């Protein structure tokens, strides 16, 4: 793989990662709710899902999905339903600010010297699974990768090393961008450490996730849509 080919893919990867999507929304939501450190766990799950999409696209399974109306419809419906479910859960979620025992961990943050607050966070395994399913069940990612990857692979050379380079590049770029989204959102935490503000946050991000999920029902097999 030439440097020019790799750099072209790098530019494409940056555009893919920066474009708003379910992964960016999830990163911002968890960055605002838990901070960058805890959001990193969710972002790790997002990258596992992204790797699966890259493997599916690179192995040619994605082409089979696009060729089969029923198979693609199943993936599309599952992905859309999951995002709508995720958004609905966040929309109705209660405040994570409290002092009781919960299923996850409690991170103590201080909004002011006299007002320490406890931020309730879910188990790391649940965050990873949420991130993984968000990317892995996104048919837009499969459509885009199947359309894009072949343009950067030279069939005259070994396919697996080229896929490896592209996958590593995509994951590193996406990880950096998702952390950027989480960091920007976490900078607002000082103004969001109030139950009423958090309820508004949950309704906003929950609504956006449900809208993104609903939009997946309109994804077509022939379209190359940016994630």
Please, how many CA atoms are within 13 Å of residue 101, restricted to the half-sphere of its CB?
0
Question: What residues contact residue 176 under an 8 Å CB cut-off, 6+ apart?
Answer: 17
Backbone angles phi, psi at 92, to 5 degrees: -95, 5
pTM of the model: 0.72
Q: Tokens representing 124?
A: 């790391």
Per-domain residue ranges for the chain?
A: 25-111+121-216
pLDDT (tens digit, 9 = 90+) per residue, 87-127? 787 788 765 544 444 444 545 444 444 444 545 677 889 99
Question: What residues contact residue 140 under an 8 Å CB cut-off, 6+ apart?
Answer: 21, 216, 219, 225, 226, 227
pLDDT (tens digit, 9 = 90+) per residue, 135-174? 888 877 777 777 777 778 777 788 888 889 999 999 999 9
Q: What's the mean per-residue pLDDT of the chain?
A: 77
User: Residue 95: exposed, middle, or buried by beta-carbon count in 10 A (0-12, 13-18, 19+)?
Assistant: middle
Residue in 216, 227, 225 with CA at minimum distance from that of residue 75 = 216
Mean pLDDT along residues 177-195 = 80
Q: Tokens representing 34?
A: 């838990």
Confidence at residue 141, expressed as pLDDT on a 0 to 100 scale: 77
Between 53 and 175, the higher pLDDT residue: 175
List the end-to-end C-alpha distance of the chain, in Å, as a whole number: 25
Between 222 and 169, the higher pLDDT residue: 169
């Amino acid at each position: 793989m030439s440097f020019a080919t790799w750099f072209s893919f790098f530019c494409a990867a940056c555009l893919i990662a920066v474009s708003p999507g379910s992964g960016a929304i999830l990163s911002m939501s968890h960055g605002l709710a838990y901070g960058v450190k805890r959001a990193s766990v969710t972002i790790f799950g997002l990258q596992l899902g992204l790797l699966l999409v890259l493997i599916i696209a690179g192995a040619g399974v994605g082409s089979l999905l696009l060729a089969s109306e029923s198979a693609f419809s199943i993936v599309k419906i599952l992905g859309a339903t999951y995002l709508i479910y995720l958004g609905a859960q966040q929309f109705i979620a209660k405040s994570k600010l409290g002092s009781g025992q919960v299923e996850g961990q409690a991170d103590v943050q201080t909004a002011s010297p006299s007002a320490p607050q406890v931020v309730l966070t879910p188990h790391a395994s649940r965050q990873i699974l949420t991130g993984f399913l968000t990317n892995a069940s996104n048919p837009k990612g499969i459509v885009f990768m199947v359309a894009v990857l072949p343009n950067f692979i030279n069939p005259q050379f070994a396919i697996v090393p080229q896929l490896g380079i592209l996958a590593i590049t995509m994951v590193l770029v996406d990880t950096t961008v998702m952390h950027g989204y989480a960091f920007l959102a976490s900078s607002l935490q000082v103004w969001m450490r109030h139950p009423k503000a958090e309820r508004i946050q949950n309704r906003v991000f929950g609504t956006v996730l449900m809208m993104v999920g609903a939009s997946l029902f309109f994804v077509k097999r022939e379209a190359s849509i940016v994630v």
